[in-house]
Amino acid sequence: MKIQTTRDHLLNKLIFISRALSTKISNFILNGIMLEAQKDILSIYGTDLETNIKCSLNVNVLKEGRVVVPLKILINVLRSFPEAKVEIEFLPDSSELSLTCQKANFRLNTFSLEEFPQFPEIKINKVNNVEYKIFKNLILKVQKSRSTDESRIMLTGILVEINNNLLKMVATDSYRLALAQSQLSNEYLKDLKEPIKVVVPERVLDTIAKSDIKSNEVGISLEESQIAFFLSEKEENKPQENKEDNKSEIKTEYNTLVVSRLLSGKFPDYEKLIPLEFKHSVVINRDSMLEVIKRVSSISQDNIPIKLEFEQGKLIVSMNIRETGSAFEELNVSYGEERLQIAFNPSFLIDGLTIMDEENLIFNIVDSLKPVLLKQEKNEDILYLLMPIRIS
C-alpha cells in the first residue's frame, strides 16, 4: 500500500474515529485501525467491538493494499507534522508503515491484519433520512442528563424515537430527565419506512453531534441489535443501495458510516414520569435566572444544594456553606401565592436552564419534594424534569 494525501485531510478522520471508540478495550488489536487503499479512495476502519466506524476519503493511491496500525501513535505523528503533503507506504519486508512529510520520516510497527475484526455487514432495507442540524441539536439538548453509572447501562444511553412527523430524544439519570423534540418536514417523512424507538450509546451520538462533517442529513438504518448512521460531506452524497445483494455501497467522497450496538433493557416510561398537574406555575426570565444561579453557586465546589424561596413578587436564591460562607440574591418574579422553599443541585439546575431557547421559562411546581418541570413559555418542544433535594 502506498498513498499520498495532506495531513489535515487524514488527521481529521482519525480524530473523529478516536472520539467515538471506547478507551476500555479487551483486545490489543483494537488499539489499531485498518487503512485500505483502493482505486482513489482510502477507507479507515476502527472498532471497539461495540461501535464500528468506516471513514472514506479521496487520496492519491499509488499502490493498493491494507494495513493495521496503532491509532493513537498515528494521530500523534500526524499532529507533529506541518500541514503539508504526507506519503504513507507499507513496507512488507519489515512489516512497517513509513510516513514521510517534508524531511521527516517515521517507521511504525504494524499489527496483524488477520486479527483485526471484520466490519459488520449492513443491509440497507430501510434508511430514514433526518435533517442533520435538527438531529445534532436534539442530542446536545439532552445528552448531559444521561447517567454515567455503567451499572445502570440503559440510563447511559439516549432514547431516539421517530414516529409520525416527530423526532424525539430523551435522556435521564433518575435525578433529572431531558426531552427534546422537533417536527420533521415532508421532505424527510417520505423516507420514514416505520417508527423507530431505540436506545443508543451516548458516546456514539456525541461523536456525530460534535463532528466537523458538513452534512445536510443523516441516514439511519436500523437492524435487530444495531443501528447505522450515514454521514457525507455533500448534500447529494447519500448511501446507495445495491439492489442485487442488498448491501450498503458507499459510492461518494468523504462518507462516514458509524455502526453501533443498541442498548438492551427497559428504558424508563418517561411519559408517566412527567406530572400533568401543578400547584404553582411561575414565569421566569431565563437569562436573569441563569446569571443569579451561577453567581450564588460560585461559592460551592461540591454541588451543595441551592435554595429557591418564592415570596410575594420575588424569588430569593441562596446558598449557605458552613466552611465557606453564604450568598443570596433576589430576583423579581410574578408570584403571588404562599411562601415556598425548594432546593436543587445547582449544576443540574444550570443544565436545565441552559438547554432552553426562549427568553421566558415556566417553573411548574407541585410541592418542595416533587419533581419540578421546566419548560419554555411558548414552545413546549423542550422539557426538563428535575428532582428537588430535601432541606432542613
Q: Write the pLDDT tens digit of every residue in 270-320.
A: 999 999 899 999 999 999 999 999 999 999 878 789 999 999 999 999 999
What span, in angstroms and rounded, lies between the C-alpha atoms of 47 and 115? 12
Q: Kindly report the number of other CB atoms within 10 A of residue 170's CB atom.
A: 24
Facing residues of 129 across strands?
219
Q: Are 126 and 40 in contact (CB under 8 A)?
A: no
Look over the chain and give the mean of its residue pLDDT values, rounded to a whole number.
89
Specify the fold of 127-270. DNA Polymerase III; Chain A, domain 2 (3.10.150)
Q: Are 53 and 21 in contact (CB under 8 A)?
A: yes
* Max mean pLDDT range (22-36, 145-159, 177-191, 229-243): 145-159
Q: Write the pLDDT tens digit of every residue in 220-266.
A: 888 888 999 988 765 443 434 444 444 444 333 348 999 999 999 99
Q: Does domain 2-109 have CATH number 3.10.150.10?
A: yes
Q: What is the dihedral of CA 343, 145, 19, 8, to 10 degrees?
A: -80
| CATH placement of domain 274-386 | 3.10.150.10
Residue 351 has pLDDT above 90, yes or no: yes
> Residue ranges per domain, the chain?
2-109, 127-270, 274-386
Q: Write the pLDDT tens digit of every residue in 109-136.
A: 999 999 999 998 877 656 778 889 999 9
**Residue-wise DSSP of 182-251:** EEPPHHHHTT--S-EEEEEEHHHHHHHHT-----SEEEEEE-SSEEEEEE-SSTT---EEETTTTEEE--
Q: No. of H helices and E strands in the chain?
A: 8, 27
Confidence of residue 164 (pLDDT cuts 50, 70, 90): confident
Residue 96 has pLDDT above 80, yes or no: yes
| Strands in 324-389 per DSSP E | 325-332, 340-344, 360-365, 372-376, 382-386
Sign of the alpha-carbon torsion through 78, 83, 89, 91: negative
Hey, do 127-270 and 274-386 end up sharing a CATH topology, with the first three levels equal? yes
What pLDDT score was predicted for residue 154? Answer: 96
| Residue 348 identity (one-letter amino acid) | F
For residue 274, give the 3-state DSSP assignment.
coil
Task: Please return the burial class of 242, using the count of CB atoms within 10 Å of its CB with bins 0-12, 13-18 and 19+.
Answer: exposed
* Max mean pLDDT range (187-191, 221-225, 367-371): 367-371
Compute CA 301 distance to the chain's CA centroid, rounded to the nearest angstrom: 27
Confidence of residue 216 (pLDDT cuts 50, 70, 90): confident
What pLDDT score was predicted for residue 242? Answer: 44
Global confidence as pTM:
0.87
